[in-house]
Structure 1
Amino acid sequence: METDTVAIIGPQASVMAHVLSHVVNELQVLLLSFTATDPTLYALQYPFFLQISPSDAFQMTAIAAIIMHYGWGEVIAIYTDDDHGQNGISALGDKLANRRCRISYKAVLPGPPDPGATQAEIIDALVKVALMESRIIVVHTYSNSGLNHYGLYAYDTVWIIANAVKAFFEKGGTISFSNDSNLHKAVGGALNLAAMNVFDGGKQLLDDILQNPLFGSVGLPGSCLHS
């Protein structure tokens, strides 16, 4: 990001999205992620962060509706110990409470920056789950197997950027950057904040993306943005 940048695709993890969102807000550079689905990544707090895939809040609403439909009063939650897992399950708990259901037990697995749960840790968690009364389990964690449906969102992310940039230039937009004195004063640790510039057309490009009326391979991308 020390080179002039107008948009970034990524990151994959919600944890990193929280960190980078503060930086892109200052630089007015768009950050589009198709896998960071943490429901606490609000548009008001992070206006330049765009969720291409639906927020976990929508997923948890659907799961809570299914649980209520089948009359399951209690469920067990297995999730990763990071922002993605914690906030997703927190959203599920809220949705269940609205339907007079609840999470009776939470099994937490190690998450980033740790390497991940070992086989022994997974077995230990499952043994504890097996001792619980409820037999309905909601798993909210990462998976490296099976069809990666986020690939479709990745395709749409690139497609959205291309169309928005085209509209940006058609409206007379130009690529220019300016210095931000606030960044020069900040202590960025490993980040060389003084070398970063603000994208002057960031707000206009953001508006062009949010006004995108076209459909992608997963539907209307704009319906997921800022969820």
Structure 2
Amino acid sequence: MNWVFPLGSLTRNVQAQVLLKNEVRVILGPQTTPETNFVVELGAKSQVPIVSFSATSSYLSPVRSPYFIQMAGADSSQLKAIASIFKGFGWKEVIFVYEDTGYQDGLIQYLSDAMREADIQISMSSAISISANDLQIEEELLKLKSASSRVFLVHMAPPLGSRFFLQADAAGMMSEGYAWLTTDGSNTFASMDATVRDAMQGVLGIRPYVPKSTKLTAFKMRRGRELQCTKPKAELNIFGLWAYDVVWALAMEVERVTPDHNADHKENLGISELGPTFLKELLRTRFKGLSGEFSLVNRQLQISDFEIRNVIGNGERSIGYWTPDRGLSRDPDSLNISSTYSTSVNVLRSIIWPADSTFKPMYWAVPTSGKRLKVGVPVKDGFTEFVKLQQFQNTAEYNITGFCADVFR
């Protein structure tokens, strides 16, 4: 009898069908949304729990199948945090660029709702195929460059995201005046090579907050020693932490749920009699894992706190945090301090924007193609809340902010 079986990297769909016919009690995986969507349907028919720690698509809502457990933060869980960040910077428009997998409709709707609540407009959306070549990416970037908005939200897996930012840098879109924010699935910065990190200088990224603990520190040290010879530069990302916690949760359930009979599958129907019991116990599991508090609500791992990162030099630096109760904050210790909700980005650590700029990028600019619009701006001391003029370093361009600028735009 097989209790837990991880799907391999080859022909996962075929493997799943074979496993479900051979008394497997739980399937751990698969990793991508299309694969998961297929296996979830089989699991529902056989009443075998399907557990995924890496398929984050909002399309894969556990509501669609009572035997699917999403032990990873759903894409939609981070959208309020992203909208809060945009609002804090005063950006009124954003361009959404995403990897076209065919399963993004739900995320786009959730994002539109979150932005609308924050009074932010998605001025343009751009879907880039996972199979797009560099020339196709370049052509799409030229369209984005001609738009007026200079603020971008990128939702891509690292393989496509790496090529996208290399092309964006070549197109001159990683220069001063641009702002880029990546979702949690895109910002595995540590695993990217030096060339990609150089192209992504000044990019902001958001990811689930992982509280420090002695358990996590000990695990990283032990893992570092084990990989010292084989993969000395390997980094443990959030998906690795979720995978570790998932295995622990399943191991605890295996010890608790002991079958009292061998004929666990109905002979002709391939339906697991033990599956419902195992599922019920798994949903009740609570413990403190490497990634934080492990709890499932509506068969989903609950992710509420996020960390904001800034790509600088050879790595990345934490600049602040966001929680649904406290809003933006500088330090993780302040997450538990009772205070009012903060939307001010002034509480964050200093940010280095693209081209080593320290000026907050505008969200709006006159397109570079066609006729240019010239606007006269009075330069006066005082009353900067109405209009304020700041010249970008080593350029002839200005950042114009204030009430009058907002009304004009």
TM-score (normalised: structure 1): 0.82
CA deviations over 1:73-115 (Å, ceiling 9, x no partner): 111111111245443233212211222212111111113xxxx
- For residues 56-205 of structure 1, the aligned pairs below 5 Å read 56-111=75-130, 116-144=131-159, 145-146=191-192, 147=235, 148-169=237-258, 176-179=264-267, 181=269, 197-205=270-278
Change (3 A) 1:212 1:107: same
CA distance in 2, matches of 1:83, 1:208: 34
* Shift in Å, 1:149: 2.5
* Shift in Å, 1:173: 5.7
> RMSD of the alignment, in Å?
2.0
* Shift in Å, 1:64: 1.4
Preserved CA contact (<8 Å) 2:72 2:300 = no
Change (3 A) 1:14 1:221: farther
CA deviations over 1:135-183 (Å, ceiling 9, x no partner): 11111111144454311111112111111111212xx6656111465xx
CA distance in 1, matches of 2:97, 2:83: 15
* Shift in Å, 1:204: 1.0
Preserved CA contact (<8 Å) 1:76 1:136 = yes
Q: What is the letter of the counterpart of residue 150 of structure 1? A: F
User: What's the counterpart of residue 215 of structure 1?
Assistant: 288
Q: What is the letter of the counterpart of residue 206 of structure 1? A: L
| SS state at 2:125 partner | strand
Unaligned runs of at least 5 residues, structure 2: 1-18, 160-190, 193-234, 302-409
Change (3 A) 1:199 1:131: same
Larger RCO, structures 1/2 (Cα 8 Å, 6+ apart)? 1
Preserved CA contact (<8 Å) 1:7 1:29 = yes
Preserved CA contact (<8 Å) 1:74 1:101 = yes
CA distance in 1, matches of 2:89, 2:256: 48
CA distance in 2, matches of 1:29, 1:141: 31
CA distance in 2, matches of 1:84, 1:159: 30
Task: Say how many residue pairs are matched.
Answer: 206
* Shift in Å, 1:44: 2.6
Change (3 A) 1:174 1:35: farther
**Higher relative strand content:** 2
* Range that drifts further, 137-146 or 72-81: 137-146
| SS state at 1:200 partner | coil
Change (3 A) 1:59 1:83: farther
Q: What is the letter of the counterpart of residue 51 of structure 2? A: L
Unaligned runs of at least 5 residues, structure 1: 182-196
Preserved CA contact (<8 Å) 1:74 1:136 = yes
In the TM superposition, structure 1's runs of 4+ consecutive aligned residues that sit over 2 Å from their partners are: 40-44, 83-90, 144-149, 172-175, 223-227
| SS state at 2:108 partner | helix
User: What's the counterpart of residue 36 of structure 2?
Assistant: 17
CA distance in 1, matches of 2:46, 2:271: 4
Q: What is the letter of the counterpart of residue 140 of structure 2? A: A
Preserved CA contact (<8 Å) 1:74 1:104 = yes
CA distance in 2, matches of 1:35, 1:84: 15
Preserved CA contact (<8 Å) 1:79 1:86 = no
Q: What is the letter of the counterpart of residue 168 of structure 1? A: V
Percent identity over the alignment?
27
Change (3 A) 1:214 1:140: same
Preserved CA contact (<8 Å) 2:43 2:49 = yes
CA distance in 1, matches of 2:268, 2:295: 30
1:226 pairs with 2:241: no
TM-score (normalised: structure 2): 0.47
Preserved CA contact (<8 Å) 1:60 1:88 = no
